[in-house]
């Protein structure tokens, strides 16, 4: 299961209330396990590369302890294990196995060049349910130069074939730059042909080596986001297409595709609120692209950092500044907090990557009340087998899945949610990311 592989249905309505600490749950943790990498990509936010060593990396035992501390706060988080290149850590499978067996959904972010059949099989056996693979151009010269690795595109493409053979879900991730801007449509089509369940278009945040690159202008952002909306519409039902680190994508989706299933979810940037990043040496930051440190897990418990960090408290309760604070779309978008921090040093400042000027209209509320990781009141009994499958769903989409299944059950005259009904729903759904959720699968 990867980010975006979620059933597209609305959450049950809940009365408005003031947020409490219980609302701030670490649903998704991006974990940079190493700065070592066999490539040296021009945009790398962590400045990984072949010259980096393992000296300061968290040991296996430390990773296990931290995973357990996170699981104590949330028994069903999503862990995104990445790097650098996480496959350079010989204990990657051991960390994944420990986390997955205790209830986490585990996916791996990789450049793909080291995904041999043996490593894929090892990681799947350890409980890894999906991979995010980076491809920045379909032109080998451009991709390989951008990533400083001869033959990288060929090696990554061969890795995708291995993932297909092993029947493992994967996401294609592309950072949109001036160099590949004109390839975007071809990259999306290629990702669909490869069998990706999702195409993520990342928008550069100037941090790490990415700070050296000349980014797209705000006007270019707007044009690219509008193009992505057309691809989102075109591929819906086959592959999810979305923007990352550009929440103003949701403004365009809301304006042009008001019935998009993407609007069924919390769309504002979750960094420091429901999401965080762990660095190779154990620091906690709000997200991979916002390097301000909230705490150090070598000296503090995860729960203490998560609950008590002044940085996290500010992100959860502070007022957005500038245009973001005045914008009628602030409930749907809210701007990228990492880009605001990179530009001003203030994570609550306005997002400089957005050209939209607030109109002064009332705040636009989501068409359906949605909350990231919300609990949903059950309306039907569930069989023991169905409950067991539900426990395999990451917490951040579980409420959506419950509602989707119960809506289907009631519509078709079922009095209980069972494993058989889950299979029925799986067969009735279009072939898209929705049916790729682990609990829909016939295998355990």
* Integer Cα distance of 269 and 340 in angstroms: 12
Q: What is the pLDDT of residue 371?
A: 53
90-98 mean pLDDT: 98
Could you give the residue ranges of the DSSP H alpha helices within 85-217?
92-101, 117-125, 140-147, 152-165, 184-194
Q: What is the pLDDT of residue 425?
A: 80
| Share of residues in the chain with pLDDT > 90 (%) | 69
Q: What is the pLDDT of residue 367?
A: 65
Q: What is the pLDDT of residue 22?
A: 55
Backbone phi and psi for residue 20, each to the nearest 5 degrees, phi listed first: -125, 165
Cβ 50 vs Cβ 109: under 8 Å: no
Q: What are 336-392's pLDDT values in tens digits?
A: 999 999 999 999 999 999 999 999 999 987 766 555 566 678 899 999 998 888 877
Kindly report the average pLDDT of the chain as a whole number: 87
Checking if the pLDDT of 12 tops 60, the result is: no
pLDDT band of residue 5 (cuts 50, 70, 90) is very low
* Integer Cα distance of 59 and 391 in angstroms: 29
Beta-carbon count within 10 A of 319 CB? 8
* Integer Cα distance of 74 and 120 in angstroms: 27
Structure tokens at 139: 């032109």
Could you give the residue ranges of the DSSP H alpha helices within 275-412?
302-308, 310-317, 322-326, 337-344, 384-390, 395-411
Q: What is the pLDDT of residue 391?
A: 79
- Beta-carbon contacts of 152 under 8 Å, excluding residues fewer than 6 positions away, are 39, 111, 113, 143, 144
Provide DSSP, 375-432: -----S-B-HHHHHHHTTS-HHHHHHHHHHHHHHHHHTT-SSB-HHHHHHHHHHS-SS
| Residue 326 burial (10 A CB sphere; 0-12, 13-18, 19+) | middle
**pTM: predicted TM-score of the whole model, two decimal places:** 0.86
Checking if the pLDDT of 435 tops 80, the result is: no
């Amino acid at each position: 299961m990867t980010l975006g592989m979620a059933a597209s249905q609305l959450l049950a309505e809940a009365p408005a209330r003031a947020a409490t600490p219980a609302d701030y749950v670490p649903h998704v943790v991006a974990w940079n396990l190493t700065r070592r990498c066999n490539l040296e990509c021009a945009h790398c936010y962590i400045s990984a590369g072949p010259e980096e060593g393992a000296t300061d990396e968290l040991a296996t035992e430390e990773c296990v302890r931290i995973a357990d501390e996170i699981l104590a706060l949330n028994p069903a988080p999503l862990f995104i294990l990445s790097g650098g290149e996480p496959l350079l850590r010989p204990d990657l499978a051991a960390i994944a196995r420990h986390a997955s067996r205790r209830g986490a959904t585990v996916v791996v972010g990789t450049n793909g060049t080291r995904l041999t059949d043996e490593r894929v099989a090892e990681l799947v056996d350890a409980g890894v349910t999906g991979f995010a693979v980076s491809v920045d151009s379909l032109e080998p010269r451009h991709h390989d130069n951008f990533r400083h690795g001869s033959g990288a595109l060929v090696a990554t493409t061969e890795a995708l074939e291995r993932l297909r053979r092993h029947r493992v879900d994967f996401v294609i991730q592309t950072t949109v730059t001036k160099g590949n801007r004109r390839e975007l449509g071809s990259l999306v089509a290629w990702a669909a042909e490869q069998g990706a369940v999702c195409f993520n278009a990342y928008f550069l945040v100037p941090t790490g080596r990415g700070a050296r690159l000349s980014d797209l202008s705000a006007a270019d952002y707007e044009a690219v986001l509008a193009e992505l909306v057309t691809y989102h519409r075109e591929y819906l039902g086959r592959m999810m297409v979305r923007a990352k680190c550009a929440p103003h994508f949701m403004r365009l989706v809301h304006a042009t595709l008001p019935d998009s299933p993407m609007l069924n979810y919390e769309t504002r940037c979750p960094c420091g609120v429901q999401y965080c990043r762990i660095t190779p040496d154990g620091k906690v930051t709000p997200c991979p692209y916002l390097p301000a440190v909230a705490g150090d897990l070598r000296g503090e418990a995860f729960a203490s950092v998560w609950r008590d960090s002044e940085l996290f408290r500010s992100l959860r309760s502070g007022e957005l500044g500038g245009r973001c604070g005045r914008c009628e779309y602030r409930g749907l978008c809210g701007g990228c907090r990492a880009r605001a921090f990179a530009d001003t040093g203030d994570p609550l400042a306005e997002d400089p990557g957005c050209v939209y000027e607030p109109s002064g209209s009332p705040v636009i509320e989501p068409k359906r009340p949605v909350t990231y990781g919300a609990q949903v009141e059950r309306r039907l009994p569930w069989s023991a087998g169905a409950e067991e499958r539900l426990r395999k769903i990451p917490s951040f989409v579980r409420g959506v899945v419950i509602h989707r299944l119960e809506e289907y059950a009631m519509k078709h005259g079922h009095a209980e949610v069972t494993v058989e009904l889950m299979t029925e729903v799986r067969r009735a759904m279009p072939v898209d990311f929705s049916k790729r959720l682990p609990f829909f699968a016939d295998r355990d």
